[in-house]
Amino acid sequence: MRFRAKIVDLACLNHFSRVTNTIAKLAKTCTLRLTVSKLYFILSDKVANGGVSMWCELSQGNFFDEFQIEGVAAEHNEIYLELVPENLSRALKTAQSAKAVKIKLTNKHCPCLRVAVELPSLSSSSRIVTHDIPVGVIPRRLWNDFREPSVPDFDVSVYLPLLKTMKSVVERMKNLSNSIVIEANLSGEMNLKIETDLVSVTTHFKDLGNPPWASEDGCQSSAQGRDLERMAEARIDIKKLQQLLAGQQVNPTKALCNIVSKRIVHFILLHEDVSLQYFIPALA
Amino acid sequence: MKCVITGSNVKVLGRAVHSLSRIGDELYLEPTESGLSLRAVNSSRSAFAAFLFAPLFFQLYEAGGRQPDRELLRCKVLMKSFLGIFRSLPSLEKTVGKCLILLKPRASRLVVQLHCKYGVTKTHNLAFQECERLQAVFDTQSCASSLCAPARVLAEAVVHFPQTLAEVTLGAGPGGKISLRNYVEDEAEPTKTMVTELWLAKEEFQTVAVAPGSRITFCLKEFRGLLTFAEASNLPLTIHYDVPGRPVVFTLDDAVLEVHLVLATLSDPESGSQPPTANGVSHLPAPSDDFADDLESYMIAMETSAYEAGSGVPPSPTFPLHTPRPAESDPEEEEEEEEEGAVPGTPPHKKFRSLFFGSVLMPGGPGPAPTQEVLAEDSDGEY
The secondary structure of chain A, three-state, reads CEEEEEECCHHHHHHHHHHHHHHHHHCCCEEEEECCCEEEEEECCCHHHCCCEEEEEEEHHHCCCEEEEECCECCECCEEEEECHHHHHHHHHCCCCCCEEEEEEEECCCEEEEEEEEECCCCCCCEEEEEEEECEECCHHHHHHHCCCCCCCCCEEEECCCHHHHHHHHHHHHCCCCEEEEEECCCCCEEEEEECCCCEEEEEECCCCCCCCCCCCCCCCCCCCCCCCCCEEEEEEHHHHHHHHHCCCCCCCEEEEEEECCCEEEEEEECCCEEEEEEEECCC
Instruction: Please check the confidence at residue B81 and state whether its pLDDT lies above 60.
Output: yes
Chain A nearest-CA distance from B349, in A, is 24
Per-residue model confidence (pLDDT) at position B311: 35
Average pLDDT over residues A238-250: 90
Q: How far apart are CA B132 and CA B137, in angstroms?
A: 15
Per-residue model confidence (pLDDT) at position A227: 80
Which of A106, A114, A129, A144 to substitute to test the interface with B, most B CBs within 10 Å? A129
CB contact under 8 A, B201 and A121: yes
Instruction: Please check the confidence at residue B362 and state whether its pLDDT lies above 70.
Output: no
CB contact under 8 A, A139 and B312: no
Which one-letter DSSP state was computed for residue B134? B
CB contact under 8 A, B203 and A104: no
Instruction: Please check the confidence at residue B369 and state whether its pLDDT lies above 60.
Output: no
CB contact under 8 A, A110 and B159: no
Query: CA-nearest residue of chain A to B298?
Result: A107
The arrangement of strands across the sheet holding A111-119 comes to: A66-70, A2-7, A100-107, A111-119, A127-134, B195-200, B178-182, B167-172, B215-219
CB contact under 8 A, B277 and A128: no
Cβ contacts of A82 on chain B, cutoff 8 Å: 311
The arrangement of strands across the sheet holding B121-127 comes to: B60-62, B2-6, B96-104, B109-116, B121-127
Instruction: Please check the confidence at residue B54 and state whether its pLDDT lies above 70.
Output: yes
Average pLDDT over residues B216-226: 91
pTM value is 0.76
Per-residue model confidence (pLDDT) at position B277: 36
Per-residue model confidence (pLDDT) at position B347: 37
pLDDT per residue over A257-281, tens digit each?
999 999 999 999 998 889 999 999 9
Between A224 and B310, name the one with better pLDDT: A224
For residue B131, what are the contacts with CB-CB under 8 A and spacing of at least 6? B28, B74, B75, B76
Query: CA-nearest residue of chain B to A142?
Result: B309
Cβ contacts of A141 on chain B, cutoff 8 Å: 309
Cβ contacts of B203 on chain A, cutoff 8 Å: 122-125
Which range has the top average pLDDT, A5-19, A35-49, A117-131?
Answer: A5-19
Cβ contacts of A121 on chain B, cutoff 8 Å: 200-201, 204
Per-residue model confidence (pLDDT) at position A226: 67
Average pLDDT over residues A108-126: 85
Instruction: Please check the confidence at residue B190 and state whether its pLDDT lies above 70.
Output: no
Per-residue model confidence (pLDDT) at position B296: 43
Q: Which of A94, A141, A142 sits opposite B159 (nearest CB)?
A: A94
Which one-letter DSSP state was computed for residue B336? B
Q: Which of A1, A121, A142 sits opposite B204 (nearest CB)?
A: A121
Cβ contacts of A84 on chain B, cutoff 8 Å: 194
Per-residue model confidence (pLDDT) at position A257: 93
* Contact of B146 with B207, CB cutoff 8 Å: yes
CB contact under 8 A, B278 and A2: no
Beta strand A53-59 with A38-43 is antiparallel
Cβ contacts of B298 on chain A, cutoff 8 Å: 107, 111, 137
Average pLDDT over residues B308-315: 36
What does pLDDT average to over chain A? 89
Average pLDDT over residues A166-180: 94
Percent of chain B at pLDDT > 90 equals: 38
Beta bridge partners of A4: A68, A104
What does pLDDT average to over chain B? 74
Q: pLDDT band for position B136 (50/70/90)?
A: confident
Name residues 29-58 of chain B within 8 A of A (Cβ): none
Instruction: Please check the confidence at residue B66 and state whether its pLDDT lies above 70.
Output: no
